[in-house]
Amino acid sequence: MTDVRSFTAPARELRPHAQEHANEHEEHFVDDFAAILEDSCVHRSTIGCVIPAYNEEESIAGVIEALLRQTRVPDVIHVVVNNTSDATVRIASNYSGPHELHTELGEQFTEVFVHDIGKNPDKKVGALNYGYSLVEGYDYLLGVDGDTVADPRAVEYLEAEAVSDSRIGGISAIYTIDDAPIRGAMARFLIAGQRTQFAAFNLQNMLRGRNMAVLGGQFSIFSTTALRDAMAQNHQSTPWVKDSEVEDSLLSLQIKSAGYLTKISPVARADVGGMTTLSAYDAQQVKWTYGAIELMWPGQRGDTKGQPFHPNLRLR
């Protein structure tokens, strides 16, 4: 950096006391000017949030409100509604438009957009890729499920760690399920089992140096640079593809193969939606297990390389 002292004019001949005062004033000016130059070089990262939503009329309001209550509010929030048959679009539209917010980190601004893309054969994958096309110019993509409510500091914590290390391609929050509103013996029994499952999954990743094998789409932040590199390496036009029943797992493996780290945050937390009926719980577990088997063995769908020794896949 150019020495700012070279821009100051030489002092005129003054009496000793006046000369001392002039020197002190000049030093304050130099320090203040240097601070201004230093501050002007600081880059504030940008975050584009994408919420794929399918029949989320019961939860979408809480999801958006939780994002608007963040200490670090995303710079833009895109709700991408697909294949819906309920009031998700109408409820989400109540929040559309600009928002000026007072937060612990100061005044912040964001804008909420609601996109109804109608019938989409690619379902959640199609909604995520549509959202990516809207935020690919941002530094980070924050993926949030339409039933996930984040802790107020979750985005702040995820961004801070992502910015601190350029090797990080994505970071996931710690997931659990809020069991307070759950009613009914069977529903509470199923939610208790899912909470235990999430706790075991989180603990395993914590014990492996916080290396997250699968960045769950419920609440994760991705470097758009890492997404572009993963797309280029796999000759894809979009980050998410339908070569797996578990699209988040496949993308996580691709990001790691591109040379980036995938982490789980030790402090960012989010409550996800749980399965309260036996049929819904069974369908979820079958999907996750079937998807894990596909990713273990090569060439099952598309041209997946196969990772039979992957710890999370073997655990499934």
| Residue pLDDT, tens place only, 34-72 | 454 444 444 689 999 999 999 999 999 999 999 999 999
Q: Which CATH superfamily is domain 47-273 in?
A: Spore Coat Polysaccharide Biosynthesis Protein SpsA; Chain A (3.90.550.10)
Percent of the chain with pLDDT over 90: 48
**301 vs 221, residue with greater confidence:** 221
The answer to whether residue 232 scores a pLDDT higher than 80 is yes
Most confidently predicted of 20-24, 73-77, 255-259 = 73-77
Would the pTM of this model clear 0.85, i.e. be above it? no
Q: pLDDT band at 31, cuts 50/70/90?
A: low
Q: Which whole number is the average pLDDT over 282-292?
A: 74
Average pLDDT taken over every residue of the chain:
82
The pLDDT score that the predictor gives to residue 307 is: 63
The pLDDT score that the predictor gives to residue 12 is: 42
The answer to whether residue 171 scores a pLDDT higher than 90 is yes
Q: Which value, to the nearest 10 degrees, does the dihedral of the CA atoms of residues 69, 129, 85, 68 take? A: 10
* Residue 302 main-chain phi, psi, to 5 deg: 65, -135
* 28 Cβ contact list (under 8 Å, min separation 6): none
- Lowest-confidence region among 73-82, 210-219, 232-241, 297-306: 297-306
The answer to whether residue 139 scores a pLDDT higher than 60 is yes
- Lowest-confidence region among 5-19, 219-233, 274-288: 5-19
The answer to whether residue 7 scores a pLDDT higher than 70 is no
Cβ–Cβ under 8 Å, residues 110 and 80: no
Contacts by residues 225-231 (CB-CB < 8 Å, ≥ 24 positions apart) = 225/139, 226/168, 226/169, 226/170, 226/255, 226/258, 226/260, 227/132, 227/136, 227/141, 227/169, 227/255, 228/136, 229/258, 229/259, 229/260, 230/169, 230/254, 230/255, 230/257, 230/258, 230/260
The pLDDT score that the predictor gives to residue 41 is: 45
Percent of the chain with pLDDT over 70: 77
Q: pLDDT band at 17, cuts 50/70/90?
A: low
- Residue 246: which of 194, 308, 298, 294 has the closest Cα? 294
The answer to whether residue 301 scores a pLDDT higher than 60 is no
The answer to whether residue 242 scores a pLDDT higher than 60 is yes
The answer to whether residue 198 scores a pLDDT higher than 70 is yes
Cβ–Cβ under 8 Å, residues 128 and 217: yes
The DSSP call for residue 211 is: B
The pLDDT score that the predictor gives to residue 250 is: 80
The pLDDT score that the predictor gives to residue 240 is: 92
- Lowest-confidence region among 225-239, 243-257, 259-273: 243-257
Cβ–Cβ under 8 Å, residues 198 and 214: no
Give SS3 for 174: strand
The pLDDT score that the predictor gives to residue 14 is: 47
- Lowest-confidence region among 273-277, 279-283, 295-299: 295-299
The pLDDT score that the predictor gives to residue 278 is: 84
- Half-sphere exposure of residue 253: CA atoms within 13 angstroms, side-chain side: 24
